[in-house]
Amino acid sequence: MFKRYLLLPFFSSLLFMSPVALSSIDLTKYNQLQQVSASLSDKEIKSKLQDTLGEDYDAFVENFDVFGEPRQTSDGGLFIEGWLNDLYLENASAFVIYPNGKVYAGWVTPDAQIIQYKTNDNEHHEIDPAIKTWAARFKGMSFTLAEEKRGKGSEVDSFTTDKFIIKVTTQCQPDGQCNDATYHGKRKKDGAELTLRGKASRAGCDSGSCPIISYQFKNGQVVYMLSKVNNSLTVISNNKIVLDEKGVWSKEIKANAESNFTGRWDGEDAGQSTLNLSLNQTGNVLTGTYCYITQAGNRIDCPGDEEDNIHGLVSNGKAEIIFDSSFGGKNGRATLELDGAKMKWHLVKAPMKGNYYAPNSYDLTRQSLPAIP
């Protein structure tokens, strides 16, 4: 009888003990350079990292090609860092883990504009001090992105082949990244559907929103690649191409009259010059003409009848165009940016291999609104 009542308080105390008291990760096994690489194979540490990082786990751990010297933090955590060989400042990851399972992780990749950061500590809203010290080496980068560089909204591309109908949605994140993509494919033969998560790859350019050139998605060991360069769907399994189909791209644009470039745009500079654009937007494709009259009418740079000298692409209220001059200059580059019934022209690159007349910057006003069905 005595033993029964003696044990009850003991078991009651176990019920109310914190999980930290019942389970603790032994970090002392990894606090030396010779042993630190084994930390990523530790079941408990790996589980905590996977739970914290989610879909970013693979990108995070792939940076651990070379390990740095681990070090103990003043409050009992263990700091571990790594990087790809010879890419100390381009592909690097670091994390602090505590015996109670709290994780604070940071990483950088070449295509990122910010230092990525995640934690499973919902009560600690500041960047971990050890991660903040580690991040100081990445000059010009921070954990947040300036407002003017942040991506907004989403884009939807559609790709159709003889056998498949595919919709790809590219979503911009608050950190400015616009490369997270979702693949939704439907097989025409039987209606079978497949949804995958992946990434978009963009061409290098000087603007904040560079054009997408390809997408890549993984389904286990199978890789799906969509190319906007050669308009193809390629499926690779076990390092062998099992499908390679050509198709046609189209883009869904959610636009009203105010966010569509279609129409005539005119501008005048105190009687010295005029700029007239006549534009037609279909999806995200822009075509049209520019006519620039300057030097009090002595220089007229306008195309011939029924000749389009503007071609470009539209994204989020901004168009990047290529234009030719009637004076021989080819492949000039400019941007057009909408602001309601106003539009700004900005010359990015002058036409080459010939003369041209075009302003560096110009304010234009819409003369006619297109009717949007």
Q: Are residues 245 and 266 in the same domain?
A: no
Within-domain flag for 186: yes
Residue 356's pLDDT is 87
Within-domain flag for 144: no
Q: Are residues 77 and 116 in the same domain?
A: yes
Residue 123's pLDDT is 82
Within-domain flag for 11: no
Domain ends where: 191, 226, 252?
A: 252
What lies within 8 Å, CB to CB, of 156 at 6+ separation is: 167, 168, 169, 170, 251, 252
Domain ends where: 69, 103, 135?
A: 135
Within-domain flag for 298: yes
Q: Are residues 180 and 277 in the same domain?
A: no
Count of alpha carbons within 13 Å of 151, Cβ hemisphere only? 22
Q: Are residues 183 and 290 in the same domain?
A: no
Q: Are residues 21 and 130 in the same domain?
A: yes
b or e along 292-312 (b: 16 or more beta carbons within 10 Å of the residue's beta carbon)? bbbeeeeeebebeeeebbbeb
- Cα-flanking dihedrals φ and ψ of residue 134, to 5°? -60, -40
- Cβ pair 358, 291 in contact under 8 A: no
Residue 368's pLDDT is 56
Measured distance CA(119)–CA(103) in Å, rounded: 5
Q: Are residues 246 and 265 in the same domain?
A: no
Measured distance CA(354)–CA(7) in Å, rounded: 95
Q: Which of 64, 81, 80 is nearest to 72 (CA)?
A: 80
Domain ends where: 223, 252, 281?
A: 252
Measured distance CA(228)–CA(211) in Å, rounded: 10
Measured distance CA(192)–CA(186) in Å, rounded: 6
Within-domain flag for 53: yes
- pLDDT truncated to tens, each residue of the chain (373 aa)? 444 444 444 444 444 444 434 468 999 999 999 999 999 999 999 999 999 998 889 989 999 999 999 999 999 999 999 999 888 888 999 999 999 999 999 998 876 667 889 999 988 778 899 999 999 998 877 876 444 444 455 678 889 888 899 999 887 665 556 778 889 888 888 888 888 888 888 776 544 457 788 999 988 889 999 998 888 999 999 899 999 999 888 764 444 344 578 889 998 887 688 999 998 887 677 888 989 998 878 889 888 877 888 888 877 778 888 888 888 888 889 999 988 788 999 999 888 888 888 888 999 998 854 443 3
Residue 370's pLDDT is 43
Residue 307's pLDDT is 80
Q: Are residues 335 and 262 in the same domain?
A: yes
Q: Are residues 35 and 114 in the same domain?
A: yes
Within-domain flag for 141: no
Within-domain flag for 8: no
Residue 224's pLDDT is 95
Degrees, nearest 5: CA angle 238-242-244: 130
Q: Return left, alpha or beta for 122; rule: phi > 0 is left, psi -120 to 50 is alpha, else beta.
A: alpha
Q: Are residues 100 and 180 in the same domain?
A: no
Q: Are residues 271 and 354 in the same domain?
A: yes
pTM of the full structure:
0.42
Residue 5's pLDDT is 41
pLDDT tens for 78-121 read 999 999 988 888 899 999 999 999 999 999 887 666 788 999 99
Q: In the structure encoding, which two tokens stand for residue 360, read together? A: 């560096």
Q: Are residues 128 and 189 in the same domain?
A: no
Residue 83's pLDDT is 95
- Which domain covers residue 64, as residue numbers? 16-135
Our count of domains for the chain comes to 3
Within-domain flag for 149: no
Residue 18's pLDDT is 40
Helix (H) or strand (E) holding 338: strand 332-339
Q: Are residues 201 and 264 in the same domain?
A: no
- Cβ pair 313, 320 in contact under 8 A: yes
Q: Which of 353, 355, 311 is nearest to 333 (CA)?
A: 311
Instruction: Assign residue 296 the CATH number of its domain.
Output: 2.40.128
Measured distance CA(102)–CA(125) in Å, rounded: 13
